[in-house]
Amino acid sequence: MKTVAVAHSGGRDSTALLHAVCAQARALRLRVAALHVHHGLQPDADRWVRHVQRQCARWAAAGAPLECHVTRLAGAPAPGDSVEAWARRERYAALARMAREAHAGLLLLGHHRTDQAETVLLQALRGGGLTAAAAMRGQWRQDGLTWARPWLDHPRSAIEAYVRRHRLRYVDDPSNQGDAYGRSRLRQRVWPALVQAFPEAEAQLHASARHAALQAQALRDWTAASLLDLLDGRPDGEALPIERLQRFSPAQQALLLRDWLAPRLPLGVPFSLLQRLPAELAKARSGATWPVPQGRLVRQGGWLRWTAGGQGAN
């Protein structure tokens, strides 16, 4: 039997998703692995673990082919690091690890259309570009797994109706009601007023994300093919031919430079560098350098090279 994994926080959305998957699992000859991540950030986190374990035990006793996996995150956000970003990054890494340990090839997440619309707004408020506007993906491959959000086209109200119909018990994260995090502030203060003024806001923001995702994928495909051609088929090339790079428009050069640098700069390529580098390259002499995080760029004759080490800046 194959195994499908479900990320299960114990909250309403993931509880509904796990219940729905378990309801179909036996007919589809599937095992189900519920994956719970203890972040160590909330006083009630231990209670949530007990709730998840007991819930899974009850459903398994009732015949669901279900097993529960729990892991607690080690460490804490670094000074200056966003708690939200740290928790998300570590949670996804832990989910991938648990899914592989459970021999699952598919990992399901409970995000829905309302989550997607909120994410579009948050990404815009953070100054994100086209990829950010695409918000959450419906399905992708990563870490040897297929990740999917099967309810991304369904509103929160549909999940709430499912929970009421099946009388499902779930836990509430108090951070969703407070002002500490951007999403909770958006959800509590902004979203009700927005929907009152624009009743179709959720559906339209979701549609915008789908359009942006299509366009972003087209740009990724073009950039990947063009960069491979620029590097003569060597995707790990340590140098770019400047004359050939300058055959592209400045905007296209910025995209090519971003994708060439991305594997070397895991914390992100400074946007300010991408804005100015095409123009500066056109005027720079051999030996000119540009500091970047964890290294520097150097013009050597007709080539732009990346060198690791040193203190980078942007």
86-124 pLDDT, tens per residue? 888 899 999 999 999 999 999 999 999 999 999 999 989
Question: What pLDDT does residue 269 have?
Answer: 86
Range name among 16-30, 127-141, 187-201, 298-312 with the lowest pLDDT average? 298-312
Write down the pLDDT at residue 180: 65
Q: What percent of the chain has pLDDT over 90?
A: 68
Least confident of 27-31, 60-64, 131-135, 274-278: 131-135
CA angle, 42 then 163 then 48, to 5°: 20
Higher-confidence residue of 201 and 75: namely 201
E-state strands within the chain? 2-7, 30-38, 66-72, 104-108, 139-142, 145-148, 239-241, 289-292, 295-300, 303-308
CATH code: domain 233-308 is 3.30.465
- Mean pLDDT for the chain overall: 90
Task: Say whether pLDDT at 185 is over 80.
Answer: yes
Kindly indicate the confidence band of residue 314, based on its pLDDT and cuts at 50, 70 and 90.
very low
CATH class for the domain made up of 2-197: alpha beta
pLDDT greater than 80 at residue 148: yes
Q: In this predicted structure, what is the pLDDT of residue 131?
A: 84
- Return the pLDDT at 176: 64
In one-letter notation, the amino acid at residue 309 is G
In this prediction, residue 182 carries a pLDDT of 79
Q: Are strands 303-308 and 295-300 parallel, antiparallel or unpaired?
A: antiparallel
Question: Mean per-residue pLDDT for 178-184?
Answer: 73
Question: Each residue of 14-35: pLDDT tens digit?
Answer: 999 999 999 999 899 999 999 9
pLDDT recorded at residue 237 = 75
Confidence of residue 233 (pLDDT cuts 50, 70, 90): confident
Q: What are the residue boundaries of the structural domains of the chain, listed by start?
A: 2-197, 233-308
Is the per-residue pLDDT at 177 higher than 70?
A: no
Return d(Cα 207, Cα 133) in angstroms, integer: 11
Backbone phi, then psi, for 151, in 5-degree steps?
Answer: -105, 20
Q: Per residue in 250-294, pLDDT tens?
A: 999 999 999 999 888 877 788 899 999 999 998 999 999 999 887
> What is the pLDDT, as a whole number, of residue 312?
46
Report pLDDT digits (tens) over 29-52.
Answer: 999 999 999 987 778 889 999 999
pTM as predicted: 0.82
CB 159 within 8 A of CB 16: yes
Q: Residue 26 to residues 7, 22, 29, 65: CA-CA distances in angstroms?
A: 19, 7, 5, 7
pLDDT for the residue 64: 95
140-145: average pLDDT: 90
